[in-house]
């Protein structure tokens, strides 16, 4: 049975073949294949560097014994090719590893979370035949759910290639020198502001320089020269990194000096000054750093495409969807209250800017939003727009996507594990079968409760759509699909979910954790609307929150501050501070 991998509980014929000079990524790919085949079969598989009489899984350069390998795969693309009764598995430095996981998924493995994998066992397994090539459309794929950054080998299994600090032996990752909102780093006010206040944006007659709350005067030639020198210095200090962000601070107030104002008027958008500025830096440094991409933001006041300025070939524009509705797809939302107002008074929706940048930008990345940052636990009904939005990105020439998610250091609720899994699949293939992935995940991760988790997701989305509302990235839990009657409906579904897994401690734990989302909203709405502070309910919630190993409830403050705000009739802990970033990191 030459095409049978496992026969009658025994290894039939195959070994894992490496080239004698295999690189560290090829060796890792081979060892992962060995490990999972041994889990599946319960029998040893050998990794060899010379072909014997047995047929083989050829990994990486070893495939050249059988075929002429393709060269246009980049770092992430891969091929699976059956050659007789051998299987060739090869690709780029990440792609060769992705190819192994693709093969394992084809024979039934699933990598749902860092601590939940489905590994089948077989007494009989025929080796599928392959003639497959995959090269992802998105060269940059990232989100910031905590488990992928803390468990980077899982990020590799999920085919993410940015943000997570992935070791080189595991394929490495795309790494920024500076990552967005970098004007603070580019021209630090503590170095330049005293002697050169003219370097900073003129806003209503003043030049603010408070940390993080300023912009630069982009038409000042001295600002440009200092910036070129600063960027050159940063790139020389980080020769292994291939992308640097030259981008506005997370603040308003673009420069209104006469020169900047005239350029804004000519271009019809403050993005014009930004593109000219970044282009000039990219041109000045291209000869010394030919592989580096110079990245900037199309964010808030720079979101609209300028009339004339166009990004150079080595400039990337990262468009941000922060104003958008996340209940409706970008292409279908009709909430013009969320539109950006152009200097001429015209209103433009996010989808308009996406299409416009896609026509003029050779390398466009996206910064998208996938949760409620003000209240991480709040049920976020974006399940039905994740795929159409990703497909819209791909249709409009996007080459990279960062899905900003719950960044709490130990995760959160609102089915984050499932959402992270689906987003990872979409980042690799925008046309993937999302319904199948949701079913597979929920049936295994939640066991017999899986059917009720899917029922809850559909009920949540149905109620939100019937409410004819629009949901932003930072909303308080005030929408009608979260009122008491609707919460009661969701709780009834969770009652069934918990009942279904009473004999399964692990799945019961996961269902109860997911249910914290409803408990939070119910508690918060009672306090804010009815001024009902049930101490037992409140203390039990926060005790359970910590007991499930969770940290932040709000992006910017610790859970203790969220509790403090609750007792003071405030929706968010940031209301206790002058600025939303003032509290600082978690303390343990």
Q: What is the three-class DSSP state of 239?
A: coil
Instruction: Tell me the pLDDT of the chain averaged across its residues.
Output: 95
Asked if residue 556 has pLDDT above 60, the reply is yes
Quote the pLDDT of residue 2.
45
Torsion angles phi and psi, residue 328, rounded to 5? -105, 150
∠ Cα 447 450 456 (to 5°): 155
pLDDT band at 49 (very low <50, low <70, confident <90, very high): very high
Beta bridge partners of residue 91, listed in sequence order: 78
For the chain, give the percent of residues with pLDDT over 70. Answer: 98
Asked if residue 343 has pLDDT above 90, the reply is no
| Count of beta carbons in the 10 Å neighbourhood of residue 412 | 29
Asked if residue 3 has pLDDT above 70, the reply is no
Quote the pLDDT of residue 96.
98
Asked if residue 124 has pLDDT above 90, the reply is no
**What is the H or E stretch that residue 333 is in?**
none
Cα distance between residue 437 and residue 5, in whole Å: 26
> Residue by residue, what is the 3-state secondary structure of 30-54?
HHHHHHHHHHHHCCCCCEECCCCCC
pLDDT band at 346 (very low <50, low <70, confident <90, very high): confident
∠ Cα 116 121 126 (to 5°): 125
Note whether 66 and 56 are within 8 A (CB): no
> Which residues, other chains included, contact 443 with Cβ-Cβ below 8 Å and sequence gap of 6+?
450, 451
Place of tokens 């929920």: 442
Q: How far apart are the first and last CA of the chain?
A: 58
Q: Where in the chain is the domain with CATH 3.30.379.10?
A: 4-135
Cα distance between residue 91 and residue 121, in whole Å: 27
Distances (CA, A) of 275 to 60, 115, 315, 465, 494: 41, 44, 9, 39, 51
Architecture field, domain 4-135: 2-Layer Sandwich (3.30)
Cα distance between residue 554 and residue 81, in whole Å: 48
> Which residues, other chains included, contact 76 with Cβ-Cβ below 8 Å and sequence gap of 6+?
91, 92, 94, 95, 98, 135, 136, 139, 159, 161
Ranges assigned E (strand) in 122-255: 125-126, 131-134, 140-143, 243-245
Q: What is the three-class DSSP state of 155?
A: helix
Distances (CA, A) of 343 to 255, 261, 304, 348: 14, 11, 10, 11
Q: Average pLDDT in the 399-421 region? A: 96
Query: Sign of the C-alpha dihedral, residues 420, 425, 430, 434?
Result: negative
> Which residues, other chains included, contact 314 with Cβ-Cβ below 8 Å and sequence gap of 6+?
282, 286, 292, 293, 294
pLDDT tens-digit map of 375-390: 999 999 999 999 999 9
| Count of beta carbons in the 10 Å neighbourhood of residue 465 | 14
Closest CA to 183 of 207, 210, 212: 212
Cα distance between residue 317 and residue 364, in whole Å: 5
pLDDT band at 10 (very low <50, low <70, confident <90, very high): low
Q: Average pLDDT in the 192-208 region? A: 97
pLDDT tens-digit map of 504-542: 999 999 999 999 999 999 999 999 999 999 999 999 999
Cα distance between residue 18 and residue 418, in whole Å: 35
Cα distance between residue 265 and residue 270, in whole Å: 8
Closest CA to 89 of 38, 128, 137, 140: 128
pLDDT tens-digit map of 252-263: 999 999 999 999
């Amino acid at each position: 049975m030459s095409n049978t991998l496992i026969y009658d509980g025994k290894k039939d014929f195959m070994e894992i073949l490496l080239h004698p000079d295999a690189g560290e990524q090829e060796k890792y790919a081979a060892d992962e294949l060995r490990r999972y085949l041994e889990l599946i079969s319960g029998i040893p598989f050998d990794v060899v560097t010379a072909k014997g009489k047995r047929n083989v899984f050829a990994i990486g350069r070893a495939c050249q014994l059988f075929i002429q390998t393709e060269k246009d795969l980049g770092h992430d693309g891969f091929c699976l090719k059956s050659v007789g009764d051998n299987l060739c598995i090869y690709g780029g430095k990440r792609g060769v590893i992705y190819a192994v996981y693709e093969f394992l998924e084809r024979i039934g493995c699933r990598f749902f979370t860092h601590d939940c994998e489905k590994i089948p066992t077989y007494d009989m397994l025929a080796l599928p035949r392959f003639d497959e090539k995959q090269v992802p459309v998105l060269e940059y794929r990232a989100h910031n759910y905590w488990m992928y950054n803390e468990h980077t080998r899982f990020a590799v299994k999920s085919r993410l290639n940015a943000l997570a600090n992935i070791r080189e032996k595991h394929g490495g990752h795309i790494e920024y020198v500076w990552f967005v909102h970098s004007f603070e780093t580019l021209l630090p006010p503590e170095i330049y502001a005293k002697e050169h206040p003219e370097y900073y944006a003129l806003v209503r007659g003043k030049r603010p320089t408070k940390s993080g709350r300023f912009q630069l005067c982009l038409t000042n030639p001295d600002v440009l020269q200092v910036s070129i020198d600063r960027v050159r210095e940063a790139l020389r200090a980080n020769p292994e990194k291939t992308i640097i962000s030259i981008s506005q601070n997370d603040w308003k107030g673009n420069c209104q000096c006469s020169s900047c104002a005239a350029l804004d008027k000519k271009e019809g958008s403050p993005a014009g000054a930004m593109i000219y500025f970044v282009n000039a830096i990219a041109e000045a440094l291209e000869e010394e750093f030919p592989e580096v991409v110079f990245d900037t933001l199309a964010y808030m006041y720079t979101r609209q495409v300028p009339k004339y300025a166009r990004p150079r070939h080595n400039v990337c524009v990262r468009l941000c969807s922060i104003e958008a509705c996340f209940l409706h797809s970008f292409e279908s939302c009709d909430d013009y209250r969320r539109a950006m107002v152009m200097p001429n008074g015209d209103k433009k929706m996010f989808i308009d800017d996406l299409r416009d940048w896609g026509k003029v930008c050779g390398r466009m990345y996206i910064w998208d939003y996938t949760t409620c940052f003000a209240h991480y636990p709040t049920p976020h009904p974006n399940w039905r727009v994740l795929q159409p939005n990703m497909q819209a990105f791909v249709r409009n020439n996007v080459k990279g996507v960062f899905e900003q998610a719950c960044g709490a250091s130990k995760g959160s609720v609102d089915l984050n594990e499932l959402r992270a899994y689906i987003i990872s699949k979409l980042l690799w293939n925008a046309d993937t079968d999302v319904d199948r992935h949701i079913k597979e995940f929920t049936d295994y991760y939640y066991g017999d409760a899986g059917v009720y988790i899917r029922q809850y997701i559909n009920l949540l989305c149905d109620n939100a759509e019937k409410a004819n509302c629009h949901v932003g990235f930072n909303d308080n839990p005030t929408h009608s699909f979260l009122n008491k009657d609707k919460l009661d409906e969701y709780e009834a579904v969770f009652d069934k979910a918990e009942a279904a897994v009473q004999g399964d401690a692990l799945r019961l734990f996961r269902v109860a954790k997911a249910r914290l989302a409803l408990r939070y909203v119910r508690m918060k709405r009672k306090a804010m609307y009815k001024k009902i502070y049930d101490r037992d309910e409140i203390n039990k919630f926060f005790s359970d929150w910590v007991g499930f190993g969770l940290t932040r409830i709000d992006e910017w403050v610790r859970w203790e501050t969220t509790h403090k705000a609750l007792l003071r009739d405030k929706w968010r802990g940031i209301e206790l501070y002058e600025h939303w970033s003032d509290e600082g990191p978690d303390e343990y």
